[in-house]
């Protein structure tokens, strides 16, 4: 087994790979499936992991009728379930068209039919059905504004629910009176099914005024059609609505499980492990500064002969866009962490999104060490942080972590290694 001292960057990557592997639908989804129901079975889904989930379903049940929407580049080969690729994180016409067909498919179901819904992170953008009076272009503008604002994912999803005909329980309502089992892979802090993919199969108690308050709080420019829609009557399905009475929502993979898998591997390699939690939120650079202080404190308390220490955390950090560079929350966290550590000896770190995409770039994240500010000067790193150009800097110094689509999504993974 690789030891942390041998190659710190490779060791951190091995921890990340173990975390991702623990959430692979092909490894764990079948255990959550009931025997295939009698009668008509329809499989629907959306998210970055949904095509892989569909592949796992057909491996267990055989070919199925259905339609699943995933991100471009994340499709898998299925025998019966149709896989449609669409845009993420800003929706496009392909997603809108596929969502319309999904609603049509559900509209003809009866009480004796069964729907299996496969929901994972990314479904908020991939399921696109704007409410009346809101155009696709207006929906795209609001999504883009929210992503650049630094708003937490829960607040973003409140807005999305009130601008959609499928979120906030409306997808499940469209399938009523059919019976529905929704299997979810969580990418949200707290693993609340109401926030995974903006809760298309879960009731919601918020009102349009809550969405307007989020837009105002984060100063998101809003087209007039959106304002008019949010001043009208709520369309989300409230908890307790009879149309949700035949829905069973289950979270089958979550960040805590992936952190535990990485912790197990680290301990097997002789490391001590400290876990900060799986639901951290906040501005990436601010969380990085706090973690740098923690790492330096832990390093100062070490004694000769102490085993390496791995500090793990998960959750979903945000970036308030100030510049025009290329970066996501994980790369920005690493960049801010490197600046705060200032070349401290014996401290290495990795931060990656478990779906393989940090922000909108096809890069999972980055890895840093004591030599990061040698390969890039401190002045270059500071300027990159100002421009939100963490991906650009880490690309130049060959410190990016590139995985390609992992076909799952259990949020951010961060590991700090202290030798």
253, 278, 307 — which closes off a domain?
A: 253
Neighbour order of strands in the sheet with 114-120 = 81-86, 65-71, 41-46, 114-120, 179-185, 247-253
Q: What is the mean pLDDT of residues 311-317?
A: 96
Does any domain span residue 153? yes
Does any domain span residue 26? no
CA dihedral 56, 60, 62, 67 (to 10 degrees): -40
Q: What is the mean pLDDT of residues 173-187?
A: 97
Digit-coded pLDDT (tens) for 188-223: 989 999 999 999 999 999 999 999 999 999 999 999
Q: Residue 273 maps to which CATH number?
A: 3.40.1480.10
171 burial (CB, 10 Å; 0-12 / 13-18 / 19+) is buried
Distance of CA 197 to the CA centre of its chain: 9
Does any domain span residue 83? yes
Shared domain for 355 and 221, answered yes or no, is no
Q: What domain range is 121 assigned to?
A: 33-253
Residue 1 has pLDDT above 90, yes or no: no
- State pTM to two decimals: 0.93
253, 280, 297 — which closes off a domain?
A: 253
Tell me how crowded residue 281 is: count the other CB atoms within 10 A of its CB: 16
Tell me how crowded residue 264 is: count the other CB atoms within 10 A of its CB: 14
Q: Residue 175 maps to which CATH number?
A: 3.40.50.10180
Q: What is the mean pLDDT of residues 250-255?
A: 98
Residue 237 has pLDDT above 70, yes or no: yes
Tally of domains in the chain: 2
Please give the pLDDT value at position 361.
86
Least confident of 123-127, 150-154, 300-304, 342-346: 150-154
């Amino acid at each position: 087994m690789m030891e942390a001292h041998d190659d710190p960057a490779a060791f951190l990557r091995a921890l990340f790979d173990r975390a991702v592997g623990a959430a692979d639908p092909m490894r764990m989804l079948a255990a959550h499936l009931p025997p295939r129901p009698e009668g008509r079975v329809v499989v629907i889904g959306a998210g970055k992991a949904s095509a892989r989930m569909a592949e796992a379903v057909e491996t267990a049940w055989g070919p199925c009728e259905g339609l699943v929407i995933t991100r471009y580049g994340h499709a898998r080969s299925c025998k019966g379930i149709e896989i449609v690729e669409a845009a993420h994180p800003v929706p496009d016409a392909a997603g809108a068209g596929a969502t319309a067909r999904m609603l049509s498919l559900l509209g003809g179901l009866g009480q004796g039919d069964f729907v299996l819904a496969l929901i994972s992170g990314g479904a908020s953008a991939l399921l696109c059905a704007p409410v009346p009076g809101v155009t696709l272009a207006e929906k795209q503008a609001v999504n883009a504004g929210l992503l650049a604002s630094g708003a937490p994912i829960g607040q973003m999803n409140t807005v999305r629910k009130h601008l959609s005909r499928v979120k906030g329980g409306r997808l499940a309502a469209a399938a009523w009176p059919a019976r529905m089992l929704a299997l979810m892979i969580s990418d949200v802090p707290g693993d609340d099914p109401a926030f995974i993919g903006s809760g298309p199969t879960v009731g919601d108690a918020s009102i349009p005024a809550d969405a307007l308050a989020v837009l105002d709080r984060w100063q998101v420019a809003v087209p007039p059609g959106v304002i008019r829609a949010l001043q009208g009557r709520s369309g989300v399905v409230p908890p307790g609505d009879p149309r949700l009475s035949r829905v069973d929502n289950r979270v089958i993979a979550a960040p805590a499980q992936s952190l535990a898998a990485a912790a197990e591997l680290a301990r097997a390699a002789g490391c001590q492990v400290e876990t900060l939690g799986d639901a951290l939120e906040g501005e990436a650079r601010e969380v990085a500064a706090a973690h740098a202080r923690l790492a330096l404190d832990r390093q100062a308390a070490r004694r000769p002969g102490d085993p390496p220490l791995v500090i793990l955390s998960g959750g979903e950090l945000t970036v308030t866009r100030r510049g025009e560079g290329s970066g996501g929350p994980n790369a920005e966290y690493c960049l801010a962490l490197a600046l705060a550590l200032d070349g401290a000896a014996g401290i290495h770190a990795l931060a990656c999104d478990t779906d393989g995409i940090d922000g909108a770039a096809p890069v999972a994240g980055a890895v840093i060490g004591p030599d990061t500010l040698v390969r890039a000067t401190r002045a270059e790193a500071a300027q990159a942080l100002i421009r939100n150009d963490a991906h650009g800097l880490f690309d130049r110094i060959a410190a990016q972590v590139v995985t390609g689509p992992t076909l799952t999504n259990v949020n951010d993974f961060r590991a700090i290694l202290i030798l």
